[in-house]
Amino acid sequence: MANQEDQFKKLVAHCKEYGFIFQSSEIYDGLAATYDYGPYGVELKNNIKEYWWKSMVYHHENIVGIDAAIFMHPRTWKASGHVDAFNDPMIDNKDSKKRYRADVLVEEYLDKIEQKVNKELAKAAKRFGDSFDAAMYRQTNPRVKGYLEKHATIAKRLATAMTNSDLDDMKALIEELEIACPVSGSRNWTEVRQFNLMFSTQLGAVAGEEGKLYLRPETAQGIFVNFLNVQKSSRQKLPFGIAQIGKAFRNEIVARQFIFRMREFEQMEMQFFVRPGTQKEWYEKWKAARMQWHRAIGTPEDKLRFHDHDNLAHYADAAVDIQFEFPFGFKELEGIHSRTDFDLSSHQELSGRKLQYFDPEINESYVPYVVETSIGCDRMFLAALSQALREEVVPDAEGKDANRMVLKLHPVLAPVKCAVLPLLKNKEALTTKAREIFNRIKFSFNCQYDEKDAIGRRYRRQDAIGTPFCVTVDFETLEDDTVTIRERDSLAQRRIPIEQVEAVVLEGIDMRSLF
């Protein structure tokens, strides 16, 4: 655990040192749970968005994109249920004065039980060697069985309390499990209260409730209210989808863990409209497609898992999370929800406008059902970085062992694709040649010219930001127009003619390899 915490601290420090992420308004000591993306951060984030957008919009004839406003008519949020039900249960510790999400306190307790189970399994695996059957052991070992039963009972009770908004039982559960405040160590808790997560602001000069506006807590509603506009203008037939990338805002009760939980963040959402009755089939299809999207960029299978929702949101008839193993454990990275016709029907009712689709195949009008995929861009960023950042020992220029920090991002996601490096800074013939190469290839992808410091240090700098290719211009280049191209992960270097550089890099970063 300490090791994981250390790793996480290193990652946060790396993000700052190399210009990926800064705390917002840092010179004023920062603003809680708000972050700014630096020069490499914005590139990585844009690449994540591009990968998502292309895989959704460009690769599906029946998915189109939109970019809706952050502000929406206040009745939108009444219809969606957010005014009445977008709450989290909060609880305060009277001694430390720290505030927590009551459900998260219980979930952390459940995580600890899970860790105990994993420990038992690891011990047994060591003892039994190759013949070990983990599934069987879970069913038969009395201690593991006990843990699992306890886990299931608590998870069920929490889910029921959440579904019924039973705040008293949530408090009772925290007391029965003897959960203590991690800061004060005491069990001196307040009652559990509901807290609405929407930020509000005022419209123009209109005072009071009349002019109350909300900052959207999800991008989905901009898609629902535009459903017919988009369907008609793009001449789509069901099933079809609408995709959107944009900011969302939530007044999170506790926002820790860096960019995992922010108050201003970005979502990549796709709402897929289907004929009622076919939602289950589409839900399964999107589950598989989204998992494949994560695996395609090299995320190891054991770092991803499906996690069915224990308590379904008011709008859903099925819901699953894709969880990723962050440095602080398996947590939600993406949600896939079968939202029924809840949203469109509510908007239809509250606006008085028909939001129905005439299905020519069955000669019937109906309110479509919706299957959505919803992923946080910032969480995806954190997932990509946390699996890519490695500390390695590699041979240096003299063949001695040297440490390097390397970001083994998939080349498609890497912020800089190629660095062009003259061997020496003060040899004009080398720098001129290197700049010529840079000026030639800069139109095809993001590249960087760097002449400062010894070549080894420049390689390290590129490794630390995840640049997959480094091109070095040396004296041989001046004679035969060849350069060395160094590959980030294997460290292999080979000589190629200058005119091949662009093609070699383009091949290495080609998104087609992912599909």
Q: Which residues bind ligand ATP (CB under 6 A)?
A: 218, 250, 252, 261-262, 265, 267, 332-335, 374-376, 378-379
Q: With helix as H, strand as E and coil as C, how does 128-168 read?
A: HHHHCCHHHHHHHCHHHHHHHHHHHHHHHHHHHHHHCCCHH
Q: Going by C-beta distance under 8 Å and a sequence separation of 6 or more, which residues neighbour residue 500?
A: none
The two tokens of residue 503 are: 């093609």
CB of 252 to ligand ATP, least distance (A): 5
**Cross-strand partners of 338:** 318, 371
Are residues 489 and 408 in contact, defined by beta-carbon separation less than 8 angstroms? yes
The number of C-alpha atoms within 13 Å of 251 and in the hemisphere containing its C-beta is 15
Q: Cα(101)–Cα(106) distance, rounded to whole angstroms?
A: 9
User: For ligand ATP, which is the closer residue by CB, 342 or 469?
Assistant: 342
CB of 386 to ligand ATP, least distance (A): 14
CB count within 10 Å of CB 113 equals 17
User: For ligand ATP, which is the closer residue by CB, 195 or 449?
Assistant: 195
CB of 485 to ligand ATP, least distance (A): 37
User: For ligand ATP, which is the closer residue by CB, 50 or 487?
Assistant: 50
CB of 265 to ligand ATP, least distance (A): 4
User: For ligand ATP, which is the closer residue by CB, 181 or 220?
Assistant: 220
Q: Report DSSP letters for 3-53, one per residue.
A: HHHHHHHHHHHHHHHTTSEEETTGGGT--TT-EEE-HHHHHHHHHHHHHHH
Are residues 251 and 197 in contact, defined by beta-carbon separation less than 8 angstroms? yes
Are residues 332 and 290 in contact, defined by beta-carbon separation less than 8 angstroms? no
User: For ligand ATP, which is the closer residue by CB, 386 or 472?
Assistant: 386
| Residue nearest to ligand ATP as judged by C-beta position | 376
CB of 165 to ligand ATP, least distance (A): 16
Q: In whole angstroms, how far apart are CA 104 and each of 41, 159, 162, 272?
A: 29, 12, 11, 30
CB of 249 to ligand ATP, least distance (A): 9
N- to C-terminal Cα distance for the chain? Answer: 36
CB of 88 to ligand ATP, least distance (A): 8
User: For ligand ATP, which is the closer residue by CB, 269 or 451?
Assistant: 269
User: For ligand ATP, which is the closer residue by CB, 43 or 334?
Assistant: 334
The two tokens of residue 373 are: 């995929």
Q: Cα(492)–Cα(130) distance, rounded to whole angstroms?
A: 36
User: For ligand ATP, which is the closer residue by CB, 111 or 332?
Assistant: 332
CB of 369 to ligand ATP, least distance (A): 18
CB of 119 to ligand ATP, least distance (A): 25
User: For ligand ATP, which is the closer residue by CB, 246 or 508?
Assistant: 246
User: For ligand ATP, which is the closer residue by CB, 319 or 367?
Assistant: 319
User: For ligand ATP, which is the closer residue by CB, 329 or 405?
Assistant: 329
CB of 401 to ligand ATP, least distance (A): 39
Residue with tokens 């406003």: 69
CB of 465 to ligand ATP, least distance (A): 23
Q: How are beta strands 329-340 and 200-202 bridged, if at all?
A: unpaired
Residue 382: which of 265, 271, 289 has the closest Cα?
Answer: 265
The two tokens of residue 198 are: 């929407």
Q: Cα(55)–Cα(98) distance, rounded to whole angstroms?
A: 42
